[in-house]
Chain A
Amino acid sequence: MSLPGARERRVHTGGIDLCVAELGDEGRPTIVLVHGYPDSKEVWTDIAGQLADQWHVVLYDVRGHGRSTAPAPLRGGFTLEKLTDDFLAVADAVSPDRPVHLVGHDWGSVQSWEFVTVKRTEGRIASFTSMSGPSLDHFGHWIKQRMNRPTPRRVGQLLGQGAKSWYVYMLHTPILPELAWRGPLGKQWPWILQRLEKVPAGDYPTPSLPNDAAHGAWLYRDNVRARLRRPRTDAYAHVPVQLITPTGDIFLSENLYDQLEMWVPQLVRRSLPGKHWVPRTRPDRLASWISEFVAANEAAREDDRPVQDTVPTGAYADRFGGQLVLVTGAAGGIGRATAFAFAEAGARVVAVDRDAEGAARTAEMARLIGSPAAWGEAVDVSDEQAMEKLAEKVATEYGIVDVLVNNAGIGLSGSFLETTSEDWKNVLDVNLWGVIHGCRIFGKQMAERGQGGHIVNTASAAAYQPSRALPAYSTSKAAVLMLSECLRAELADRSIGVSAICPGIVNTNITATTHFAGADAAEEKRLQKRTSRLYGLRNYPPERVADAILKAVVRNQAVVPVTPEARGARLLSRFSPGALRGIARLKPPL
């Protein structure tokens, strides 16, 4: 099976015949993609296709895999030294006078760590992006450190990783793995991947899988024991490294990379919610990170400065760098603070608000604090057609939204009997229908892409705290809370998280524009001023809500009460709802 649009050639090295595929313009800098176990180069199909627009992309089947030939005998034919020979042969063939950018997944990453830490490849590699594959030498030192000084935490880490590495011990048994792969396991593998990893069906795995897996067992047998027992002490990376850690990897724990800075002077960290086979399940994100890192390295080499300088430093920059985030109600308050927090983390931001000037201002400031690109859009979230149009524009011009924050909302206070049906309509249109439109239109795009994402809905502590002063507002927010929880259940299958944020009393502009049902204009002005003053005295900054939102996305939290009073009310609503009902009867101090 070959990759669409690829030019193939054979490279001979040390008695082996490697199958090498190339895409893209050969005059551009070269990216070499190295696959893992038990894969072949087809694991990269989507990523290679996306990278080829901008770069010269090279993939090869590792010896014994895919359409490359296997060494004879197999034993001793898969040592890291021989794999390094192969890589150098490929690099010399495809990019003789320019160092290549290296990308490795799983065993591809393990062997690439060897390439970037040995002397003889110096000058041949420009950068390395590693995913789901540690250096065996670093891993050896990691184990030694924990064995020599076992604190409870370190023992926990050892046992945790030990359990995750079960397959490594299995692969050391003779013949049995080969039999399993050539027999039932090989047949079931595509199904297992779809079931456990949600890997979409396609040209992968290839029919050569049983053979690849059987041969690849020697990768482990030839290297693991030897390297873990006697790890090299000079395994320092001589190129900048981008480490991408999938947070849900069932084979590797995140703290394997705890002290990686020791070995890698120029390290950029990224984390990605996903399982082990991210090249299949998250190709868009990976392609953009790889592309960005390669571009930053090419630029840094010209300017002669370290590539880390080009990486944003805000909270969770490793997680949101380069992602597309859309925030509604972004012209002020929590929405604006959230847009800024994502911007600081290096995300691209679409700031949406009815107030065009405010949205544009948010976008402008976002660019100044680290957002690589930001746009302001004037849209009323309650207008379905306008939202549809916005979604279409965003999808064609900026891409599919990775994080959607439905934050736009208006206030409405006053007793139930004085709230007119017009008032009800207004508040439900924005607070509830705005969220419904956002979730429906953008959520659908996210689900169709099938590469995960996150939706945040700003509810309110009023969602679970009844009050005689806010019947309509509380109702709209309670609906948002329930909507979020239902949607969360539904979208869990598609790796899309949904969080409802319940801020509580936060110092924002919402009080100054709150409509007070039953009050005349002068009275309303007075009440607005008074509530604004009270909220100002409480003085809980929207920036802290923004931090809670970023954290909720990273941890995929379901319901997040933010201020102490919101948390207290949440606790009461669960354990003593009667008390809340009592509080609801109190007249607010207005």
Chain B
Amino acid sequence: MTSAVKDEPAPELRGFREVQRLAYDCAEAVAARLTPGVTEREAARMQRDWLRERGVRDWFHLPFAWFGDRTAFAGFKVPLQFFPTNRKLEPGMAFILDMAPVYKGFTADIGYSGCLGLSPLHDKLLADLEVHRELILREVRERRSLREIYEDVERLMIKQGYVNRHRAYPFGVIAHKIDRVAEHRWSPRVYGFGTQSLKGLMSDALHGHRDGWSPLWSPYRFSDHPPQPGLWAVEPHLGFRGTGAKFEEILVVTDSKDPEQSAFWLDDDLPHVRRWAEERVAA
């Protein structure tokens, strides 16, 4: 969908926005129900059930939940460690909920960071994510290469004193493309990933490979190209000692000449963005 975003009428974007909102609503609802003793598996199931009740049938990937030092991906070596475990939530612990539902053929992939109780450290991490959101948008509008933007994000994290934890993701990605997904009655999953969505990603990879771009935004050479028009689920992830925090939301990139229109965050009314605004008002 190279130019689909610009050319297609707004309803398409509305569809993506709707599912992204739904996912964030789910995250907030589940976060509010988390209590000491809940395990990651239970939290993941709570997300699944909540979304299923509201009509989600397919997934880009099934919901994840990470508690405590797993929010900083401490010791993550193999991708299987991403899956929810029996780690129990304790007071003062940070958590991340991450889910990618498909709803009415639209996909979203979101990340929600929270903390059970008060933690000044976690607040600081969340607050420091704001500049990353601004940096990414600015540099995408400048049409810098994805690899360059990646390196700038990483440099900023290091300057802030953090470790770049999206390095631990498969291919070290900070973002990946998402797209519409054909609705099938039966969509099996492989390792928690919906096959329909994977199919889309694969075909993007195939086409992209021919045209010299990649649907994965990584520190490697295959991401050494300007941002490709389309929808990107961007997830900068900070780690600091045993605590991690991230957001994940959709960035729209178009081939418009107008810088404002060439890239924008799909929705500015999300929990983390609201939080920053509230903090500014409080300050």
Contact = CB atoms under 8 A, between A and B. Distances in A.
A336 B121 contact: no
A364 B127 CA distance: 14
A373 B241 CA distance: 18
B181 to A, nearest CB: 36
Nearest to B154: A536
Interface string A344-359: 1000000000000010
Interface string B20-43: 000000000000000000000000
Contact of A361 (B120, B121, B161, B163): B161
Nearest to A362: B161
Interface residues of A, number: 13
A509 B158 CA distance: 9
Interface string A507-527: 001000000000000000000
A368 B241 CA distance: 11
B240 A365 contact: yes
A368 B120 contact: yes
A365 B241 CA distance: 11
Candidate in B120, B159, B160 with the most chain A CB atoms within 10 angstroms: B159
B238 to A, nearest CB: 12
A332 interface: yes
Contacts of B240: 365, 369
A531 to B, nearest CB: 15
Secondary structure of the A contact surface, majority rule? helix
Nearest to B122: A368
Interface in A478-518: 509
A19 B240 CA distance: 55
A44 interface: no
Contacts of B257: none
A87 interface: no
A60 interface: no
A368 B158 contact: no
B121 A368 contact: yes
B121 A369 contact: yes
A358 B159 contact: yes
B54 interface: no
Interface string B148-181: 0000000000111101000000000000000000
A365 B159 contact: no
A368 B124 contact: yes
B76 to A, nearest CB: 14
B222 to A, nearest CB: 16
A133 to B, nearest CB: 36
Contacts of A361: 159-161
Contacts of A332: 158-159
Nearest to A509: B158
A1 B158 CA distance: 59
A340 interface: yes
Nearest to A541: B163
Nearest to B163: A541
B241 A336 contact: no
A369 B161 contact: no
A364 B240 CA distance: 13
Contacts of A358: 159
Contact of B241 (A340, A362, A364, A509): A340
Contacts of B120: 368
Interface in A224-251: none
A513 B158 CA distance: 15
Interface in A539-579: 541
19 contacts: A332-B158, A332-B159, A336-B161, A340-B241, A344-B241, A361-B159, A361-B160, A362-B161, A364-B124, A365-B161, A365-B240, A368-B120, A368-B121, A368-B124, A369-B121, A369-B240, A369-B241, A509-B158, A541-B163
Interface of B: 120-121, 124, 158-161, 163, 240-241
Given A361-B160, A369-B240, 6 more contacts: A332-B159, A358-B159, A364-B124, A365-B161, A509-B158, A541-B163
